[in-house]
Structure 1
Amino acid sequence: MAAFTDPGMVTQENHRLALQKYPYDNILFTPGVKCTTCGFVKPARSKHCRTCKGCVARQDHHCVWINNCVGQGNNHYFILFLCSISLLLTYGAYASHLLLSQLLQAKQQSLEMFSNRQRLQPIPGIRHWSTGLDWSDYFASWGWALVEDVCVGGVGLLSALCMPMAWGFLGYHIYLMWAGMTTNESLKWADWRDDIADGLVFIAEEETGETFLLNTGQVEKDVEPQLAYPSPRKRALKRTLDGKPPIYPQSSDKVSNPDLQGKFTPEWRRVTSLREVDNIYDRGFWKNVESVFKPVFL
C-alpha cells in the first residue's frame, strides 16, 4: 500500500485544493515560490521529486525501498510498513535463536547420553548446552549451529542485522510526528540551526501593528487553509552573510517610496537558539498523529 498509493501528487487539477491544506510559515515555506518544472506555485510543505517527476503534498522523502515518495497520501501506510517490518524482524531473530538453541541443546544431550552409556552410568538431568563454556567455545558452538542449519541461521542473521535499522527508522518517524515535521522539513530546520550557531540569523517581531516586508510572493486571498493551524506571528527571520543585522529602507523613505506604505524598518535581534522560532505545523503529538493517520487526500 505504501508503494502503490498515490503519495499526494500535486497537479493542475488539484493545485488549488493543495494550497488550502497548510498555511505558509514564512520560514521554511513562503508564498509565491513557483516550481520551475511543474509551472505552478508550490503549496506549503510540498516538494518536487525528480524521481517521481512531480510535486508531492507534505513530502517526507523518496523511499528507495518502496520505490515511491512518502507524502500526504501514504505516510500512514509507510509508518505501518515500518511497524510490521520491525516486529517481523524481531520475531525472526528471536525464533531463529530458539531453533538454533534447541539444536545445540539436542547435540549436548546426545553427547552426554553417549558418554554416560560408555561409562555404564545412569543418565542424569541434561544441563544447558552453554554451561561451563568459555567465550571462544560459546561462539564456536553458535558457528557450528549456523552451518548445521543454514536456512534458519541465514534468516536469523539477516533479521538480527536489519532489526536495529528498522527500529531506528520507526523511532525517527515517531519523533517526526511528535515534532510536527517531515524529513524534508527536518533538513531545512537543520540548515537554520547551523546558521544560528554561526550567528547569521536575525529575527524581528511586530510591535506597531504594521506588516513586515517579508517576501514578494503573493497567494490568492480566498485560498485559506482548511485545517486549524496557529497563525504565524508577524515576524521576519533572515539570514545574513556577514553576521550583521539586515538593512531595510529607513522609515523616512516611506513617503518617497509608495511601495513601502504600511511597512516599517523592524528592530532586529540575533537568534541564539532554534527554540526561539515557532514551528506552526506542530499542533501537539496526538493532533500530529491524527494528521498522519487521517490524511486529507487531494
Structure 2
Amino acid sequence: MGAIATVASIVLAISFVVFVAFFGRLPALRRTPIAWLHRLLCVNLPNAIKGLDNRLTGGRISSSLVRFGSYIMYDRHPTVLIFYILLLSVGEYLYLPAVWSRLSPLVKVTGTIAIMLPYIFLYLAATSDPGTITPANHAREMARYPYDFTLFHPGAVCNTCNLLKPARSKHCSVCKKCVARCDHHCIFINNCVGAGNHHYFLLLLLSTAVLTAYGGLLGVHLMATSIRLRFPHFAILPWNARDATGRDMSWTDWLTAWSWGMQYGGRGTVGAGGVAMGAVTLLALMTTPLVVALFNYHVWLIYCGTTTNESMKWADWQMEMDDGCAFKRRMDSEKRVKDPSVEPLWTRWPVEAEQVLVRTRDGNPPAKDLNLPGEGEWEKVWRVRELENLYDLGFWDNLVDVFVPGFMFRDPQMPVVEERKRKRKRRRARRTYLS
C-alpha cells in the first residue's frame, strides 16, 4: 500500500497546486477557499519571503527570483511548452511498453489516434497566427466586430502598435502584439489564443482530456485484470470486492490489492514495469479532471459569447456596479452617426450596440454636457445580468464564429435592419461567470 499512497499523494499535491495557481484568479472563485489559497500561494507567501530576504540579504535573492519569475511568466519562451511535450512523451514511454502486448488491435488503433491528436493540435495551436493585427489587415479586423460601448469603445489606440484597437482585441504584453478576439496568452502553447487559433486550442484541450481519460481507464482495466490473477474475487469498486472467503473485502485489503497492481500489474508478472505503468495511470486519472475543467470552462465562455479577457472586464464592471458607479442608457444604432476615422461605417457582425455603459467617480449620473453617445436618461446598473452582451448570438452561432471565423459575417450590402431581424439572438450577460 506504500507505493500507491506515495504516488497518489505526490500527484494529488501537484494537481491541487496547479489547480489553485491556474484557477484561483477566476472571478467565479473570488470568495471561495481556492481564491484564499491562491492569494496565500501567490501573494502572501512571496511577500513574507521577500520581507525575510530584505532583512537577511538586502533583497538580492528575491530580486533575482522576481526577474527569473518575470522571464518565465511574462516573456515568450518555450520552457513550459517543452515541459508539456516531455510530460506527454515520457508518460507514454513509461506506459506503452508495459501494456502494448496486452492490447487488442482495435485498442491499438484507437490508442494511437488518441496519442497523436494532442501533438497535432499542439503544433497547430502553437504555430498558427492567433490573429495578429498589422497595418496590412487592420481595416479588415476593424470590420470584424462592432464596438459594444460596454466593454469596447471606439477611439482607443494601442500605445505600442500605434493602431486603433478593434473591438474584442487586446495587446499581449508577452507576444508584444495586438491580437484579434484575444482570449488569453497560453504558456503551454507559447502563443496567444485568439481568432486565428482558438479552435485549435479547444481541440488541444479536448484531445488531451480524451488521451488522459483513455490511458487512465485502460490502465485501471489492465491492472484490475492482473490483480484478479492473484485475488480472484477483486473488483474495481470496493463494495463489489470479495476476499478469499467470499466476505466483503475491507478497505485496507482493497487498497493493498491496488498497491500490488500498481507495482506488478503492468504485464501481470512480477517486476515487469508495473510501477511505471501504475504511476502513469494514476497521474492520468488525476490530471483528467483538471483538463476537463479547463475545457468545460472555455466551452462555457463560448456559450456565454465571451472570452477570458472579456470575462475579466465583466468582473471589473461588477465591482463598479457594487459601488453604485455604473450607468447605462439606450443607443439607437439606426440614428447613430459613426466617425469613420475611429470606427468603420459597417461591420460584418449581424447586430449593433443598443446600450452605452459608463462609470462615474461620485455615483451620480454623467453630466449632460459631456456629449456621450446614446439617448435618454441614465439608469444605474447594479448587476451584469441587466446588460446585453452584443457578442452573444447563441451557443451554436458562437461556436461557428470560433471554428469558422468569418462565417457569421453578414453581407455589407444587406440592410442592417433586415439582418438584425434575421439574427436577433443576443443573450443578456447573465450567462457569464457571475450567473
Please confirm whether the aligned pair reaches a TM-score higher than 0.5, indicating the same fold: yes
1:142 equivalenced with 2:265 (yes/no): no
Pairing of 1:4-19 with structure 2 (within 5 A)? 4-19=127-142
**How far apart, in 2, do the equivalents of 1:236 and 1:248 lie?**
14
Q: Which has the higher helix share?
A: 2
8 Å contact kept, 1:100–1:152: no
Aligned to 1:193: 318
Aligned to 2:365: 245
Which among 205, 210, 219 is matched to residue 342 of structure 2? 219
Pairing of 1:156-235 with structure 2 (within 5 A)? 156-205=281-330, 218-222=341-345, 224-228=346-350, 230-233=351-354, 235=355
Cα shift readout 1:46-80 (whole Å, capped 9, x = no counterpart): 10111111000001111111111110001111111
Which among 386, 409, 416 is matched to residue 276 of structure 1? 386
Q: Which runs of 5+ in 2 are unaligned?
A: 1-123, 236-240, 243-247, 265-273, 408-435
SS state at 1:66 partner: coil
**How far apart, in 2, do the equivalents of 1:64 and 1:2 lie?**
12
Aligned to 2:31: none
Pairing of 1:61-72 with structure 2 (within 5 A)? 61-72=184-195
Amino acid at match of 1:57: A
Following superposition, the deviation at residue 177 of structure 1 comes to 1.1
How many residues are matched? Answer: 264
SS state at 2:297 partner: helix
8 Å contact kept, 1:249–1:265: no
In the superposition, the TM-score normalised over structure 1's length comes to 0.81
Q: 1:265 to 1:13 in 2, by over 3 A?
A: closer
8 Å contact kept, 1:45–1:57: yes
When the two chains are superposed, the root-mean-square deviation of aligned CA atoms in Å is 2.6
Amino acid at match of 1:159: A
Identity %: 41
**How far apart, in 2, do the equivalents of 1:245 and 1:4 lie?**
48
Structure with larger Rg: 1
**How far apart, in 2, do the equivalents of 1:40 and 1:103 lie?**
64
**How far apart, in 2, do the equivalents of 1:194 and 1:11 lie?**
34
Q: Which runs of 5+ in 1 are unaligned?
A: 110-126, 251-259
**How far apart, in 1, do the equivalents of 2:343 and 2:352 lie?**
17
Amino acid at match of 1:73: G
Aligned to 2:114: none
Amino acid at match of 1:47: K
**How far apart, in 1, do the equivalents of 2:348 and 2:293 lie?**
33
In the superposition, the TM-score normalised over structure 2's length comes to 0.56
**How far apart, in 1, do the equivalents of 2:367 and 2:253 lie?**
72
Cα shift readout 1:11-52 (whole Å, capped 9, x = no counterpart): 111111111111011111111101011111111111011111
SS state at 1:2 partner: helix
Pairing of 1:80-159 with structure 2 (within 5 A)? 80-109=203-232, 127-128=233-234, 130-131=241-242, 132-148=248-264, 149-159=274-284
Following superposition, the deviation at residue 204 of structure 1 comes to 2.3
Following superposition, the deviation at residue 237 of structure 1 comes to 1.4
Amino acid at match of 2:390: I
**How far apart, in 1, do the equivalents of 2:374 and 2:307 lie?**
34
Following superposition, the deviation at residue 144 of structure 1 comes to 2.5
Higher relative contact order (CA 8 A, sep 6+): 1
**How far apart, in 1, do the equivalents of 2:373 and 2:202 lie?**
45
Following superposition, the deviation at residue 197 of structure 1 comes to 2.6
Following superposition, the deviation at residue 185 of structure 1 comes to 0.7
Q: 1:266 to 1:157 in 2, by over 3 A?
A: same
Q: Which runs of 4+ in 1 moved over 4 A?
A: 209-212, 262-266
**How far apart, in 2, do the equivalents of 1:161 and 1:179 lie?**
28
Q: 1:89 to 1:8 in 2, by over 3 A?
A: same
